[in-house]
Amino acid sequence: MKNKFLNIIGIIGVIIAIAITIFIKKEETMLGKFNLNALENAEQIVNDSVAKARKETEDLVSIKDKTYMNFLRPLMDIDAKLQQITFPIYHLNDVNNSLETQKIVDAILPVLSNYSSDMVRHKGIYNGVLYIKKNEYETLNFEQKKVVDDSIKGFEIAGVALPEDKQKQLKEIASKLSKLSNDFSNNIIAANKKNKILITDENILGEMPASDKTAAKTKDGWEFSLLAPSFIPFMKYVTDRKLREEMYKNSSTRAPENEKLIPEILKLRNEKAKILGFKNYADLAFQFRDAKLPATAEKYLYSIAEIAKPAAQKEFSELKEFSKIDIESWDIAYYSRILQKERYSLDEAETKPYFEMNETIDGVMSVISEILDIKFKPRNADIWDPNVRYFDVLRDNKIIAGLYLDLQTRESKKSGAWANNMSVHHRDKENKEHLAEAIIVANFPVGTKDNPSLLTLNDLSTLFHEMGHAVHLMLSTVDERDVSGYDVDWDVVEFPSQFLESFWLNKTVLKKIGKHYKTGEIIPDDLIERVIAADHFQKGMHLVRQLEFGIFDLELYQKENLTVENVQSILDDVRKRVAVIKIPDYNKFQNTFSHIFVGGYAAGYYSYLWAESLAADAYMAFDGNPFNKELAHKYRDTVLAFGDSKPMSELYIEFLGRNPKPESLLQYYGLK
């Protein structure tokens, strides 16, 4: 009888195990399912989905005895379902931009903007969260408490208590801003397709690497565009100074239509801040910032400038003396390359053959796997371009996330590099686990069978940087969607990306990654030493450029009623204070400053340097050994695992047992 009972228990155990396996496999097969048909009937599907989300929200609001699990979790599920519909549309507009995608996004923007505006000031939801705070808060775990606290703060900052006419005004502002930002971005994409320069004399290409020449080759000669993989080698290698000036001018006068959009964007954001009771948009933006106040961020930037500007002036003087000409902006990249080559016997033509794109991706993943004790397993998936690659991400032989890589440039793709979250790790109202999926997009050179894509050192650091964002998303173990992944305070969101970026410039790491694409030779020690030595080259000039962007951004968003002329005047004034390079009057850099007029960096560009100080301090704690398992696992299990469920300042102390040292950034750059 006892044995029969044990046999029954055993059979039940096997059935349960099979059921669990099937459930896990079902969840795993949900990964890699990008909606390739997202554009079909998109406008109607989005309208229907928003209507459904509104109804489901009202049904939840009508619940009398609200709890976290019957109210807040289902609300987050509604957001997740809507993201599944809208994310592929926006993503395709960024990576396969066309008149069709632009038309669709233009059509759905007002609908989604109105929905978002209604939700962030929905009194029924707000009162429901207050009810949970009053009746259930003490029994919640720390992740759930963070969701409740952030929700209440978000509603109050959004103006949930404002009268109806003010709420209507905020909705109108949000809708206008969505349209302006989308126009701003589309104008840049359109401009990048224009103003190409054709060179018919190969001698003008100078010492340009063969891979860059091959990428530019046409039947008529060599054609160069404003896309980074084309623009950068042009400015570094083309010997004809007048052609460099033409290309520079094409780049710095792009998207002139955006000049008139900037004052409108600034005005609307300031109006929003005033309606919500803030002095200006910067004060509003800093409500969810580690720095807390704009003045704190500005003080930090100027403290860096005190040391960085003298260093930059010295570097620029050296460059002018070396060039033996009255050096202009279009000469900087050209003569800097030659000076760097002379000083360190280093040139990209020598380094690029060791970093063929696919081999480098595999090498970078191998390094990250070793550091964080995870694995990347390539497999087939639904992809929007033949060059996209997909990977399952495993820990302890269990799939925990998915990763798409879309790294090669094309004209229909937005410029730059970024990481996106298709989904974040969380549990739904049924307590079912959903895994994270990340997408990394870049604009690396296009490769062919005969001429593979060879990466610059900057491309390599970019890959590490974006992988830093991706692992922040994918290794989050948080169960609550609103505080999972990399959606942390804006001025620390770059910490994990810049931290991982620091690792590429390590001898052990480079030996694991660098392999000559023709001979298979491992990158030699003397070349590595020159690469590492050259890393501090013109760091002062790099820093003052970042300071220029950060201070300009903060000053813009603390002023009112700015005109096109005012915007230019502020930029000119900031340059006088921190810049060392003479900028031509026709330069309209601000017209392509998408970070602060389209992306989330409005009154937040300083975040790059703010976060980089954390990254530098954390990297220096490893004392040159990126494979310090104890520290690496501590970083993984604190900073990455907890997402936004705890403040980064708290997680940093859990990670290293102390606060970051502010001077670490300048020490890391070799300036102190």
CA distance 553 to 562: 13
Cα distance between residue 566 and residue 556, in whole Å = 9
Other CB atoms within 10 A of residue 630 CB? 7
Q: Where is 395: in which H helix or E strand? A: strand 389-395
3-class DSSP state of 443 = strand
Q: What is the DSSP string of 248-304?
A: HHHHHT--TTHHHHHHHHHHHHHHHHHHTT-SSHHHHHGGG-SS-SHHHHHHHHHHH
Q: Are strands 436-444 and 398-408 parallel, antiparallel or unpaired?
A: parallel
Please name the amino acid found at residue 442.
Answer: A
Q: Select from 90, 88, 97, 86 the least CA-distant residue to 188.
A: 97
CA distance 379 to 386: 14
3-state SS, one letter per residue, for 613-648: HHHHHHHHHCCCCCCCHHHHHHHHHHHHCCCCCCCH
- Within 13 Å of residue 102, how many CA atoms lie on the same side as its CB? 17
SS3 601: coil
Measured between alpha carbons, how far is 269 from 174 in angstroms, rounded to an integer? 9
**One-letter identity of residue 299:** K
Ordered strands of the 389-395 beta sheet: 375-378, 389-395, 398-408, 436-444, 418-423
First to last CA, the chain: 79
Among 143, 298, 359, 466, which one carries the catalytic annotation? 466
> Does residue 407 sit in helix, strand or coil?
strand
Establish whether 466 is a catalytic residue.
Answer: yes
Euclidean distance between CA atoms 393 and 362, whole angstroms: 13
- Max Cα distance, the chain (Å): 98
Outline where DSSP puts E strands in 139-233: 197-199, 217-218, 221-224
CA atoms 654, 660, 664, 668: torsion sign: positive
- C-alpha 573/C-alpha 581 separation (Å) is 13
Element housing 392 (H / E): strand 389-395
SS3 562: coil
User: Which residues, 6+ apart, have CB-to-CB distance to 221 below 8 Å?
Assistant: 198, 199, 200, 201
The tokens for 322 are: 């070396």
Q: Using CA atoms, how far apart are residues 111 and 418, in angstroms rounded to an integer? A: 26
Residues with a catalytic annotation lie at: 466
